Every structure is written in structure tokens, then in C-alpha cells.
Amino acid sequence: MKKRLLFLTYFIFLIFNSQAQIHYFVEASGNMSLIPKSEKTISSSSIPEGTNYTMYSIYNYKEKYDKALGGNVMIGMQYDLKNKFSLESGIDLSLIKFNHDLLGTHAFTYKFIDNLVISQIPVNSVSYYELKSDFSLSYLSIPVSVFYQLLKERLYVGAGVVPGVLIHASNDYNDNSMLSKLNIAALLQARFKMTEKISVVAAFQQSLSPTFKEEFSPNRSKNRLVKLGLRYDI
């Protein structure tokens, strides 16, 4: 996958270099992860062999995330189209940080088949577990965005897509197998040109792919970022 991303980037550069009206830039920004809380309940039932009751199994998963500051560095190019539109792409290296707290409970309920009496096992037999960890995730992405010029050579707004691959991760479990390797996100951006070379950039990025694999996080939470930074046109 890394080779495919690099090949795609090289292919984009070749296409752009064969055209006119190309501008190169570097961009550095800070990001903040704003993943919302989530909760999911999963129920199942079975009739154990040789019994006269139905056993209901209930799993509940609650997740919350604490914000942490990360960063992005991007090397890109802008190709001016017609009618105030432009196309941008490049290579983006992002560091995303957050604290993850997963609280799980597992309870049983029994419903007797013969007399329809509902009974529950004692509270102390209901199992609970909590997993907490600080996560630091590094992605290599190739964002592709279309921009529109609102104010002449001053204010630009854009939207695009950010396909990326996880290249490094660390957490308190020393286990990265629970993480999804690929990530695709939607991106909304605004850029205000302060000088001929320097611009202030702001963006909102919503992942379309879950951060964790389903067996670790049934809620399938997706990352959400806000970004603020500076861009320098080369």
C-alpha cells in the first residue's frame, strides 16, 4: 500500500508538471482530535442443551476520547483551473494523538420456558472491564482537493478526499493489531492569503473509515480533526 501511495503521488506530479500554472507550497499545521463519545449494545440468545430456559447475553460498550494536540506537514502543488477553480494535491505526514477509554460490561438474563419467569444472575457475576490508553498515530496521505476563489487572490475554500495509510503507531498496550491500516477521510478547508507567499489555513477532517478494528471496538468510531496552520508558497 505504501508503494501504491508513492506511485500515485509520482503520477500526479508527472501530470501536473506537464501543465502550466503550477504552484508549489509547504504547509505546517496543528491538529486536534475530536472523536465523539459512543455507546453500543449487542444482544444474543441461546438455549443450552438439556435445559428449560433461554439464556440472553448482553454486551455493552461505552467509549470516550480525550483531546490531544498533533500536527501535519505537507508538501504539495496547486494547479490553476478555469473560472476561479484550482486543484491541489501532495504528500501529507500527520501525527494524530488521543486518549481512548473503553468500558465494557457483559451480563446474562435467563427466561424459563415452562413458566415464563424471568430471573437474573447475581450482580457480582456480571463482568466489567475497562481499557485506557494514549494513542499516537502517524499517517502518510495524499490529499486531493478542489478550491474555489471567493475573494480575488485572498480567500479560498475547498473540499476533497484524503486517502492514507498508517505507517507508525504507539499505545500503552504495545499492540497495534487492533488498528485499521487504511484510512479515508473527507476534508473541508479555508485559506486566507496574508501576503504574497504566506497564508493562514483552517480545515475540518472527518474520517470515513473506523480507527479500530471491529473486534476491539464494536462502536466503529471514526476520527474527527480540526486543523490550523500556515502555508508558504514556493
**Tally of domains in the chain:** 1
Q: Cα-Cα-Cα-Cα dihedral of 53, 57, 58, 63, to 10°?
A: 170
User: Is residue 65, in this structure, part of any structural domain at all?
Assistant: no
User: Is residue 55, in this structure, part of any structural domain at all?
Assistant: no
Q: Is 138 exposed, middle or buried (0-12, 13-18, 19+ CB in 10 A)?
A: middle
Taking the CA atoms of 16, 147, 156 and 190 in sequence, report the sign of the dihedral they define: negative
* Sequential pLDDT tens for the chain (234 residues): 555 655 555 555 555 455 557 889 999 999 999 998 999 888 887 777 776 777 778 889 999 999 899 999 999 999 988 889 999 999 999 999 999 999 998 887 777 666 555 454 443 467 888 999 999 999 999 999 999 999 888 999 999 999 999 999 999 999 999 999 999 999 999 999 999 999 999 999 999 999 999 888 888 999 999 999 999 999
User: Is residue 110, in this structure, part of any structural domain at all?
Assistant: no
Bridge partners (DSSP) listed for residue 183:
164
User: Is residue 156, in this structure, part of any structural domain at all?
Assistant: yes
- Say which residues have a Cβ less than 8 Å from residue 155's Cβ, sequence separation at least 6: 149, 190, 191, 192, 193
CA-based end-to-end distance of the chain: 30
User: Is residue 177, in this structure, part of any structural domain at all?
Assistant: yes
Q: Which domain holds residue 200?
A: 2-36+70-99+134-233
The CATH number given to whatever domain includes residue 174 is: 2.40.160.20
8-state DSSP, 212: B
User: Is residue 125, in this structure, part of any structural domain at all?
Assistant: no
User: Is residue 17, in this structure, part of any structural domain at all?
Assistant: yes
Question: How much is the pTM?
Answer: 0.80
Minimal CA–CA distance to 55: which of 10, 121, 4? 121
User: Is residue 115, in this structure, part of any structural domain at all?
Assistant: no
Which position has the grid cell 471514526?
A: 222
